C-alpha cells in the first residue's frame, strides 16, 4: 500500500517524503532512496542517492540510521 506524504524531523531539519514500493522520495529535493524491507520488519537496508547503503531501524514513529541519526516521523 502506498503511504501518504509525511513530515520528517531530523538533525538536519525538516523535510517531507513519500514511500511507494521500494522507493523513498524526498519531496523537498526530489532525491530517491531504495528501501529493502517493510517498516514492521524493524531493520531495513536503504541505498541513498549517493550510492551509500545503510541499515535503518524504525521503532514506532522514530527512525535511526548511522548517517542521519535519529529522525521523528509525523
Mean pLDDT for 4-20 is: 93
- pLDDT at residue 39, as a whole number: 67
Residue ranges of the domains in the chain? Answer: 6-73
- pLDDT at residue 64, as a whole number: 95
C-alpha span between 52 and 59 (Å, rounded): 22
The pLDDT tens digits for 14-69 are 999 999 889 999 999 999 999 998 767 789 999 999 999 999 999 889 999 999 99
Q: Is the pLDDT of residue 1 over 50?
A: no
- pLDDT at residue 21, as a whole number: 87
Diameter over CA atoms, the chain: 29
C-alpha span between 26 and 32 (Å, rounded): 6
CB atoms within 10 A of CB 53: 12
Amino acid at each position: 500500500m502506498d503511504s501518504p506524504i509525511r513530515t520528517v524531523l531530523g538533525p538536519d531539519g525538516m523535510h517531507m517524503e513519500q514511500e511507494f514500493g521500494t522507493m523513498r522520495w524526498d519531496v523537498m529535493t526530489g532525491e530517491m532512496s531504495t528501501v529493502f524491507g517493510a517498516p514492521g520488519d524493524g531493520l531495513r537496508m536503504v541505498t541513498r542517492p549517493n550510492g551509500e547503503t545503510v541499515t535503518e531501524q524504525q521503532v514506532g514513529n522514530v527512525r535511526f540510521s548511522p548517517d542521519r541519526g535519529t529522525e521523528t516521523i509525523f
